[in-house]
Amino acid sequence: MDPKVIEEADRAKDEANAAFKARHFAAAIAGYTQAISLNPNGNPAYYSNRAICHIKLESYGAAIADATKALEIDPTFVKAYYRRGDANFALGKFKLALKDLKLAAKAVPRDVDLKKKLEECEKEVKRQRFEEALAVPDEEVVLVSSTVDLSMMDVEESYKGPRMSGNNKDGYSFDLEFIKAMLQEFREQKLIHRRFAFEILLKAQELFKSQPSLVEISIPDDQHFTVCGDVHGQYYDLLNIWEINGYPSESNPYIFNGDFVDRGSFSVEVIFALLGFKCLYPDHMHLARGNHESKNMNKIYGFDGEVKAKYTSVMADVFRETFCWLPLAYVLNSRVLVLHGGLFSKDDVTLDDIKKIDRFREPPDEGIMCEMLWSDPSPIPGRTPSKRGVGVAFGPDVTRNFLERNKLDLIVRSHEVKESGYEVEHGGLLATVFSAPNYCDQMGNKGAFIRFNGNDMVPHFTTFDAVPHPDVKPMAFANQFMYGM
């Protein structure tokens, strides 16, 4: 190859490296892609470096593809085994991750970081095998929620936090005054009593059980409705949304469109704030399931560890069961479909098919429930493999055909960081909204929410910046494996 072309490719790589160090991951991907286009089979580092950028942007399928290409060029390129192992671990594919990490460890047995990752991965594989060995038929499963005895959780006189109305013997109830006091307690980095926490959690679970997988909502002509995207444990940014747009109420209804927890280290506070308002205003506060409302994601990205640190392992199990009852989608005024991820690998899916989903389960690896939680829009017509390694990438024609088949006007989804907090795609037929500004304290993005007026159902976008929060870093409760990613 012409040495000048190789030199130009390496220069593009160096610029991409600088962008990566500055945490401009999309710019870094563009730089590595330029280097690859100039010298596609010459340097495995181009692909391996692009893979780590994809991991930072949670495009794990693209990361696996890049790491695999790097290894095709040079099977001894150890960093590519790292990257592929990281991406598979993030997807909960622990056995595949372990295989790659073992290969890397043979090449660099003294790498301390790799040794830690290998230990974490081995632990997860053992846990998975143990759970599989103990698995019982569905009809024999005893739900942890059914074993919780609230009467055994006395609220001690020494407890100084917000109190619900009632007593230990006769039970408790709560109102808006309690919820506001709870929000302030959380703001001050304190917790409510576990009895009150379980009261909210179990009441919310019963409400979700009573709802179908697809919920239809009517918005009168003279009223409005707000849709928020991912919050990801960023409690102080959640409070900021309500300071801008008002608390949820009968006259100020909301949907929060999945991924309430994980990554941000105030996920417990976020979920109890959302569930508290759900219990107060069950017909005006709505929550849709995201891909992070699942057992594997919670164990990897922090929510499971946070609940156990702040409360108990029993509560973590009750959350897992509660998340399985979350509705999967909402239709607003028979015109706007709201769901977390996106559309489907098949053309014939209808709203009735969504209604019929038996959703009380962990998300499967394929099928329409999986795709609703994981898929992403693409500018390319038709369907292409997902950059995430799960779900599908669907083009403008897929969106248009789905809307026409189901007599809808618009799809609102979340699931992806957007620099402006939102993006309108597919000729105005699809909107993404993301409500966690400066995601993970590093992305620099704005947050956004969408407001609809019932009389015309036209989306109106409001953007906002991140607000300060206490010095608790994102991922503080996450699996130790993730810190090196």
Residue-level pLDDT at 139: 65
> Looking at residue 485, what is its pLDDT?
54
CATH number at residue 234: 3.60.21.10
User: Could you tell me if 206 and 79 lie in one domain?
Assistant: no
Residues 397 and 451 in one domain: yes
What does 163-199 look like in DSSP terms, one character per residue? --EEETTTEEE--HHHHHHHHHHHHTT----HHHHHH
Residue 85 phi/psi, 5-degree rounding, is -65, -45
55 and 170 fall within a common domain = no
- Alpha carbon distance 83, 63 (integer Å): 7
Of 76, 111, 134, which one is at a domain's C-terminal end?
134
Give the helix/strand (H/E) hosting 317. Answer: helix 313-323
Q: Of 54, 232, 286, 292, which residue is the catalytic one? A: 292
DSSP letters, 191-228, are ---HHHHHHHHHHHHHHHHTS-SEEEE---TT-EEEEE
Low-confidence ranges of the chain (pLDDT < 50): none
The count of structural domains within the chain is 2
**DSSP of 255-274:** EE-S--SSSSTTHHHHHHHH
Residue 319 covered by a domain: yes
User: What pLDDT does residue 132 have?
Assistant: 79
Our answer to whether residue 284 is catalytic in this structure is no
355: enclosing H helix or E strand: helix 351-355
Domain membership flag for residue 337: yes
Q: Are residues 113 and 170 in the same domain?
A: no
Other beta carbons within 10 angstroms of residue 116's beta carbon come to: 14
**Short-list 295, 291, 145, 282, CA closest to 211:** 282
Query: Does any domain span residue 448?
Result: yes
Whether residues 438 and 396 fall in one domain: yes
Distance between CA atoms of 308 and 328, rounded to whole angstroms? 26
DSSP 312: -
Amino acid at 72: E
What whole-number distance in Å separates Cα of residue 398 and Cα of residue 430?
A: 11
CB burial of residue 461 (10 Å; 0-12, 13-18, 19+): middle
CATH of the domain at 97: 1.25.40.10
| Strand 285-287 to 254-256 pairing | parallel
Mean pLDDT, the chain, rounded, equals 95
Gyration radius of the chain's alpha carbons? 23
The shares of helix, strand and coil residues in the chain, as percent rounded to the nearest 5, are 50, 15, 40
pLDDT at 482: 66
Q: Is residue 128 located within the same domain as residue 174?
A: no
